[in-house]
Structure 1
Amino acid sequence: MPKLIAELRARAVALGFDSFGITSTAARPDLPEKLRLALERGWHGDMDWMAETAERRSSPNALWPEAKSAILLGVNYGPERDPLALLAEKSLGTISVYARNRDYHEIIKGKLKELAGLLARRSGADVKVFVDTAPVMEKPLAEAAGLGWQGKHTVLVSRDFGSWLFLGAIFTDAELPVDAPHAESCGSCTRCLDICPTQAFPAPFQLDARRCLAYLNIEHKGPIPAEFRVAMGNRIYGCDDCLAVCPWNKFAKVSREARLRARDDLERPHLADLARLDDGGFRSLFAGSPIKRIGHGRFLRNVLIAVGNSGDDTLTSLAETRLGADDPLVRGASIWALRRLAPERADAARQDYETDEADDTVRAEWTAELSG
């Protein structure tokens, strides 16, 4: 068995994995209760799939009763530059580090399958691979496998890679020797909690997704709640604030996977260019990117909120152009953006658009009190 584990570790490195650890599928008996409390408090927002898959998500053995061991693997996606620097450049859009290039699911899953195949061939065991697309709680399992620990921002923190690790898992019915779990090492630091622009952490190690900008501009399907729009700033996809301020990032390394490093056109995208995208242009620009999954309408919603926060009056006409969009999500965001940038022009446009507006949420945007 030691020879097999050594071979798996070596192959994992060759495939591009940066972290490797093994744990028992029964290592975290506390997970069902943690998940139950989070769901009862509604912290999952409108991610109904979390509640629907709660039983299977709560334990690896609820998902696959025969599983005995879990191999957890991490791929570093550390950025080359400080991702928070762009927040001050209000006419540019800020995209979360992980989404500035290829969809990591596509990159990691193939590597996982190859490594799992090696394990199956050498041991005769059954295997299953998971990469954030099945009801698996990868972060606490990765903590149990020694890859790092779940920080106060709930993201896995590594001594070698800071907060920048993608995780994948291989479950097997083979009983493998386990690694020691990693102790929580945040100490008294609260930087990740303090920087959150929407106070999304009810307490350390707890996250209320309903207040998280990454949830709101990716998972949430409706209008961005008014109370969070100004705080959203120019974050058009995701939010890296809590990850980027982690002190352990001082040991982080730039990703060695070229497909996970930022594309030039997604590192400093101008809001003007993004606001002009039609559906075809959106699909073309974000082909192979996780951003494509939220669709053109939700993406424009995010861009228009950023336009409204930009203070850049050269973007005013772009907000006006979207007042007649087919998607009510886009129309509503364009009204908010126009009212923020040019109240007089918004008042004039209201006469042309409000009377014929059939969507109640869009009509409400014309009269809602502006925050900020």
Structure 2
Amino acid sequence: MSESKAKLRERLEEKARELGFSAIGVARADAAPKTAERLREWLASGAHGDMLWMEETAERRRSPAGLWPEVRSVISLGMSYAPAADPLALGSAPEHGRISVYAQGADYHDVIKKALKALARWLVEEAGCDLKVFVDTAPVMEKPLAEAAGLGWQGKHTNLVSRNDGSWLFLGAIYTTLELGPELEPGVPHRVHCGSCNACLAACPTDAFPAPFRLDARRCISYLTIEHKGPIPHEFRQAMGNRIYGCDDCLAVCPWNRFADTARRNQAFVPRAELTAPALADLLALDDAGFRKIFAGSPIKRIGRNRMVRNAAIAAGNSGQPTLIPQLEALTRDPDPVVAEAASWAVERLSAPAIVR
């Protein structure tokens, strides 16, 4: 790599870190050739559940060129949200709801998109190219691309694991017409460093991993509390415990997290006090206006009041707190039938614990 190209790469990394990214790597657009077949198999198994958009956008997801034929290179970026506290600590506080670490701070969509756009503008000025930026909502397979770019590897829990940031990375991508060969040196893909460890698989409360490196979203608490709109299947309700938005269990037990330094965390993701341990009683009392007020600026706002109260009702049913019964009884008359059903289940569970449990 010429001195000018080396300097461009060095300045690109410096700019990315200046904008709050803790990891950056580059790869050719065709650097993850197995993605299409793995996606096809996963969709064919039905493991995506109600996430029908995964099917609808499958052709565009299969490779970067499927979304944008002009792309030649992918710049993968990671932003740390490494927690300072134990993500599993609230498991012993059933009167409180557990919110996944990633959702306790600012909405990562907004934070990362802003930083990606700023980096993209800088790159256009420095190198001259066409490009597109993506974070989460676009049909982009961020994890295999990040692996190809050298940010980390997809662990047995299917999430990216980094030597420097553990399991706590938000991912974004810049697709560009810039040729990596003549312009930027491609990153070196990681090999998998999970070894014989199965801690993430063993930690899953609902056995959502039929095999290492395979996730059945239909059994995953993150899917059930966030993506699933209807009644949560009874077989998973007790295992949910007090998890009301997402689940950190498989991530939190990963041994690589001992290298995750909270000093690398983007300050936008410092937890908001009201989201670290919300009282179930307060969540059960939410109306639409109250929900919007509390969760403004949070990724949680996307699920709406009804799904949050449904989740809180199930957590209440698992809490062993009969003082919550009056609130739950009121919710059995909620206009949303899914909320009403969850509340009825919780009332029955709290009213006859010796039988139901």
**TM-score, normalising length: structure 1:** 0.92
Q: Which residue of the other structure, out of 308, 318, 330, is the alignment partner of 1:321?
A: 330
Q: Deviations over 1:168-221 (max 9, x none)?
A: 000101112201111110000000000101100011000000000000010001
Q: Deviations over 1:78-117 (max 9, x none)?
A: 0110010101111100000000121101001010011111
Q: 2:244 aligns with which of 236, 247, 270?
A: 236
Cα deviations by residue, 1:283-326 (Å, 9 ceiling, x for unpaired): 10000111111011111000000000000111111111101111
Q: Is the 8 A contact 1:56 1:62 kept in 2?
A: yes
Secondary structure in 2 aligned to 1:310?
Answer: coil
Counting only pairs closer than 5 Å after superposition, residues 203-242 of structure 1 correspond to structure 2 as 203-242=211-250
1:51 aligns with 2:55: yes
The number of residue pairs the alignment matches comes to 347
Partner of 1:135: 139
Structure 2 residue identity aligned to 1:141? L
Q: Which residue of structure 2 aligns with residue 295 of structure 1? A: 304
Partners in 2 of 1:293 and 1:52 — Cα distance?
A: 20
- Output aligned runs, 1:56-71, within 5 Å: 56-71=60-75
**Cα offset for 1:259?**
1.9
Q: 1:333 corresponds to which residue?
A: 342
Matched, 1:187 2:195: yes
For 2:206, the equivalent position in structure 1 comes to 198
CA shift, 1:257, in A, is: 2.2
Gaps of 5+ in 2: none
Q: Structure 1 residues 29, 256: CA separation in 2 closer, same or farther (over 3 Å shift)?
A: closer
1:219-251 deviations in whole A, cap 9, x for unaligned? 001001000000000000000000000000011
* Contact kept in structure 2, 1:230 and 1:371, CA below 8 Å: no
* 8 Å contact from structure 1 (residues 202, 208) kept in 2: yes
Which SS does the other structure have where 1:324 is aligned? coil
2:98–2:243 CA contact under 8 A, matched in 1 = yes
Partner of 2:155: 151
Q: Which consecutive unaligned segments of at least 5 residues does structure 1 have? A: 345-369
Counterpart residue identity of residue 56, structure 2 = E
| RMSD (Å) for aligned C-alpha atoms | 1.2
Q: Provide the C-alpha distance between the structure 1 equivalents of 2:301 and 2:109, rounded to a whole number of angstroms.
A: 13
Which moves more between the two structures, 150-159 or 255-264? 255-264
Displacement of 1:265 in angstroms is 1.1
Paired position in structure 1 for 2:290: 281
User: How far off its partner does 1:47 sit?
Assistant: 0.3
Percent identity, please.
59
Which residue identity does 1:224 align to in structure 2?
Answer: I
Q: Would you say the 8 A contact 1:324–1:331 is kept in 2?
A: yes
